[in-house]
Structure 1
Amino acid sequence: MKLLSVNVGKPQPNHWKRLSATGIDKRPVEGPVAVSAPGAKGTGAVGLAGDRVYDVRNHGGDDQAVYAYAREDLDGWEAELGRSLANGVFGENLTTLGLDVNGAVIGERWRIGADVVLEVSCPRIPCGTFQGWLERDGWIKEFTRAAVPGAYLRVVEPGDIRVGDPVEVVHRPVHDVTVALAFRAMTLEPDLLPRLSAAEALPEEIRELVHRRTGG
């Protein structure tokens, strides 16, 4: 398991939301890239140096510090969409190889390289910017049905990362709430929502959502 690519955003005009720009256009960099906890949502800060988000209401902050997507899943989308998909095209900071990103459980921790430790916090929920960026009508529904959303991660231990760094799973909670299951529960399968209560590492706003919808 390793980092196939480390990707940092290049600002582009956002034609799909009432925002001045978007950071979804992630491009591979050689590194090393510094990784640190960005702090509370609302500033645009994220975990990788040189990157940021512009939809500060919905993105960024400690619970969405880093976004990871598996190259294997990008390859699957290439076959489905009939087009080439470069590393970073889904807006991911980390393109991984050999790592089951969607099968990771909430709260699972990955050591990357010598120093950095990241914790899986929640799945990515698709938005209008993502659909517009890929120039594919109906993409939000298509992506949602597939339930391979990729994972947002928190920064537990900061440091530097670079292309080729090994990724090791150093902690895995005993519950069975995976990234994919959490995504399904939050989108098309709300009957799964009660199961999310076992994942204490979910962001507080998601835990509150689960409480409101399940009444428990």
Structure 2
Amino acid sequence: MSVGTLVAVSVGQPRPIPGMRAKTGIYKEPVQGPVEIKTLGIAEDAVLDTRHHGGRDQAIYVYFQDDYDWWTGELGYAPEPGLFGENLTIAGTTSAETAIGDRFAIGDTLLEVTYYRQPCVTFSAKMGDPRWLKRFQRANRPGAYCRVLAEGTVTAGMDVRITPYAGERVTVSELMALDGKDIPLDFIRRAVTTPIREKTRFKYETRLASLF
């Protein structure tokens, strides 16, 4: 186990997407004071595209300060917490080190990593860069979606106890690197032994079942 820091807790309200009709909850701002994390996330946080975001397996999106530090050189400015639409900004680890099943304990709150963040056109619109999807993909620093194993209240500045998953180490960066590719069967067999999100588990197990 290692110990990191909760840099910020960010929530968003519905806002228009530049050049699009729909509204989005991706515009997140750090908040002061305690915030309750429930099974389905933060009650005050807007999740509008429920097809791709939210739900039990993607209740909380975490981005890592160490990855933001890398982006500082790429963007030419230091990203503020919440820029990428994350709920929690954590210092002390990176996407490359974070695997499915890793756990983040913050006070009484316990989160478990389930998947990586896939960039979308809304993200590109927010960043004002039509090439952002490819740029974010190439960087391979996606951050992590988490399910809530234990509800609790968190505040920026709290310690984050990071417990690595004891089984197969399938990192969120590994998953992102395979996005859009024919996923090797040996990788699928590794992944289904982890607590990966149920949507992906069903897809992987269906593919394995089709071999017999």
Structure 1 runs (4+) deviating above 3 angstroms are 15-18, 188-194, 211-216
Question: Residue 189 of structure 2: which of 163, 176, 197 is its match?
Answer: 197
Q: Is the 8 A contact 2:6 2:88 kept in 1?
A: yes
1:35 and 2:37 aligned: yes
- Over 3 Å counting, the alpha-carbon distance change for 1:10 and 1:97 in structure 2 is same
Question: Residue 103 of structure 2: which of 109, 126, 144 is its match?
Answer: 109
Letter in 2 for 1:206: T
Question: Residue 121 of structure 1: which of 106, 109, 114 is its match?
Answer: 114
1:5 and 2:8 aligned: yes
What is the aligned-residue RMSD (CA, Å)? 1.9
Matches within 5 A, 1:71-110: 71-110=65-104
Q: Structure 2 length normalisation: TM-score?
A: 0.88
- Over 3 Å counting, the alpha-carbon distance change for 1:28 and 1:179 in structure 2 is same
Q: Is the 8 A contact 1:106 1:202 kept in 2?
A: yes
Aligned length in residues: 205
Deviations for 1:19-73, whole angstroms, at most 9, x for unmatched residues? Answer: 2x111111001120000112xxxxxxxx113102111221110111000111121
Letter in 2 for 1:201: P
Matches within 5 A, 1:149-160: 149-160=142-153
Q: Residue 43 of structure 1 aligns with which residue?
A: none
Percent identity, aligned pairs only, is 39
Q: Residue 167 of structure 1 aligns with which residue?
A: 160
Q: Structure 1 length normalisation: TM-score?
A: 0.87
Q: Residue 123 of structure 2 aligns with which residue?
A: 130
Deviations for 1:91-121, whole angstroms, at most 9, x for unmatched residues? Answer: 01111111234421111111112x0000000
In structure 1, what is the Cα distance between the partners aligned to 2:151 and 2:65? 24
Q: SS at 1:190's partner residue?
A: coil
In structure 1, list runs of 5 or more residues that go unmatched: 39-46
Q: SS at 2:176's partner residue?
A: helix
